[in-house]
Amino acid sequence: MAQPQSFGIDDDVIMLKDAARRFLDEREPLLGLRTSLAGTEDPYRGTEREGWFDPAAWREMTELGWPLVAVPEPAGGLGLGLVAATAIQEEIGRAACPTPLSSTLMTTFVLRAASADACLGRIAAGGTMALAVFGPDGAPDADSTAVTADGNRLTGISHFVQDAQKVDGFVVAARADAGLGLYYLPRDAVTLHRDRIVDLTRDQARIEMRDAEAEVIAQPAAGEAVMAQALPALLTLIAADIAGAAEWQLQTTAEYAKTRMQFERPIGFFQAVKHPIVDMMIATDGTRSLVYNAACAFDHDPEDALRCARMAKASAAETAYFCSNRSTQLHGGIGFTWEADVQIFHKRQLHSQNLFGDAAWQRRKLGEML
């Protein structure tokens, strides 16, 4: 099936993206985040960091319909595709916004693949969810999980769960004799063990289940097919977050280069500064093109969706590293200080770089597809 030349970006998607940008610019989520971070500057010592987000901003996001974008209409959602969700996620990345929306959007596509209308209805009603699908090695493979299922009762630990402190429940991958199944557990049914991570905008945890009674979403042996169907969307949403954050790094660094004076000239006058900023722009634009190509493929050409999504995530992972490196370097001495927002984006980007596989992993998988 041919993809539309516009990447599926119609007037509705443009209005949605513009509204998201205006909303996040007005809310300035990093101001509230900074207040919550007092005393937790060092992630490995001192006070344990809370998974902060702004409940008032989240209520407004739900009123604007952002969590409903990818929920099918029969389940109470708007029934839009991945392109619309990608547009919102790019703006979330551009603002480095701490929110349960990112994890909820990703979980939505897994639930869609499983036709899990009951859980989709929970999201439509304002619920939040995160994926708990990784084993201790963090490999984004179907056999990674260390959780076992006996009927609908789960035992084990799921690792690298994103935004675990922010959500109401989890979609858990667990292995039974018949194969991989997917299950829903409310947050109060698990024991949460917080991880200490450098990303200030997210929280991460291990969730432990001890004979926890769960709701079956995909029967054993069907779970792998569901995750495979949803995987292109998961990769694309992470890549979109990176593209948005890279755009912030590019624009902020370019603006700083116009105002920071050295040798009686703005530092942007010098080629050693000018050329890396141009390289940041090329990397960001290239990643964004691949991201929307992948989103469009998911909506209009599913057979090619995984290839496009792996290309987008590979590009995004490299852009995350490159733009973070150059943005911090070109800000000089203030770039890595606690007071600068540059370090917040740098840490978020390096965390996103490795979610569901870095560039080397994606290219290895792409090679296996050829």
Q: For 185-219, what is each residue's pLDDT tens digit?
A: 999 999 999 998 989 999 999 999 999 999 999 99
Q: What is the pLDDT of residue 268?
A: 63
Question: pTM for this one?
Answer: 0.95
Please list, in sequence order, all residues whose beta carbon lies within 8 angstroms of the beta carbon of residue 360, skipping any fewer than 6 positions away. none
Q: What is the pLDDT of residue 46?
A: 66
Helix then strand then coil, in percent of the chain rounded to 5, is 55, 15, 30
Let me know how many helices (H) and strands (E) the chain has, helices first.
Answer: 11, 10
H/E stretch holding 270 reads none
- Asked if residue 36 lies in contact with residue 323, where contact means CB atoms within 8 angstroms, the answer is no
Q: What is the pLDDT of residue 261?
A: 63
Domains of the chain, each with CATH number or no CATH: 224-369 (1.20.140.10)
Coil vs helix vs strand at 167: coil
Strand partners for 148: 155, 175
Q: What is the pLDDT of residue 44?
A: 66
Please list, in sequence order, all residues whose beta carbon lies within 8 angstroms of the beta carbon of residue 309, skipping any fewer than 6 positions away. 231, 232, 233, 235, 236, 239, 294, 297, 298
Q: What is the pLDDT of residue 370?
A: 81
Q: What is the pLDDT of residue 267?
A: 64
Low-confidence ranges of the chain (pLDDT < 70): 1, 40-46, 142, 261, 266-270
Residues 12-65 pLDDT 10s: 899 999 999 999 999 999 888 888 887 766 666 667 778 889 999 999 999 999
CA–CA gap between residue 301 and residue 119 (Å, rounded)? 26
The C-alpha angle 107, 316, 333, rounded to 5 degrees, equals 115
